[in-house]
Amino acid sequence: MVDAMRQEHVILLNEQGQPCGILEKYAAHTAATPLHSAFSCWIFNDQGQLLVTRRSLHKKAWPGVWTNSVCGHPQSGETAEDAVIRRARFELGADITAPASVYADFRYCATDPNGIVENEVCPVYAAQLVSQLQPNADEVMDYQWSNLEGVLCGIDATPWAFSPWMVMQASHEEARATLRNYCQQIIA
């Protein structure tokens, strides 16, 4: 599975968010990670519970950290929505509904305790699980289905326990409201 990750690339972006090159995914994530395209998705089950995942200890950045359901990088010629579906299958062994936009212009830069930097233009999506989960152990070491409000309260109370991108996404009031609305539509 690590070989599959090394075959992926990231789409490099200039400061205006325009593509300006590609770089192998594993090589891109260093102490000086260039700005690149990514995505983040919050996945809910048919009861409106959020899938929170714990990143594998094999991950280069933020190993062992709890985060939202799935993240990744679109490949050349691939839409972010198609990339979300691809990564949900790869990381979670799961099929999902078409991803819905939650926070289209999310951008962040954060450094993990090992000095690895994430520097991403990272639109945020929500989707619903439509199959069983079969997590890829190289990507996910644990997972939990949780009430969205409980997760948001946990993020507010203990932000250090979650990935920085999850905390920043949940701190954006419009994104938080959109996630709540998405969840409510499932259970309505």
pLDDT tens per residue across span 127-145: 999 999 999 999 999 999 9
Which pLDDT tens digits describe the chain residue by residue (188 residues)?
444 445 899 999 999 999 999 999 999 999 999 999 999 999 999 999 999 999 999 999 999 999 999 999 999 999 999 999 999 999 999 999 999 999 999 999 999 999 999 999 999 999 999 999 999 999 999 999 999 999 999 999 999 999 999 999 999 999 999 999 999 999 98
CA-CA distance, 125 to 61, in Å (whole number)? 21
Find out whether 36 is annotated in a ligand binding site. yes
Catalytic residues: 71, 120
CA-CA distance, 124 to 29, in Å (whole number)? 20
Number of Cβ atoms within 10 Å of the Cβ of 110: 17
Find out whether 118 is annotated in a ligand binding site. yes
At 81 the pLDDT is 98
At 3 the pLDDT is 46
Find out whether 73 is annotated in a ligand binding site. yes
End-to-end CA separation in angstroms for the chain? 39
Q: Where are the domains of the chain?
A: 2-187
Find out whether 78 is annotated in a ligand binding site. no
pLDDT tens per residue across span 97-138: 999 999 999 999 999 999 999 999 999 999 999 999 999 999
Whether the CA torsion 135, 168, 6, 115 is positive or negative: it is: negative
Q: Show the 3-state SS of 49-73.
A: EEEEEEECCCCCCCCCCEECCEEEC
Classify domain 2-187 by CATH number.
Answer: 3.90.79.10
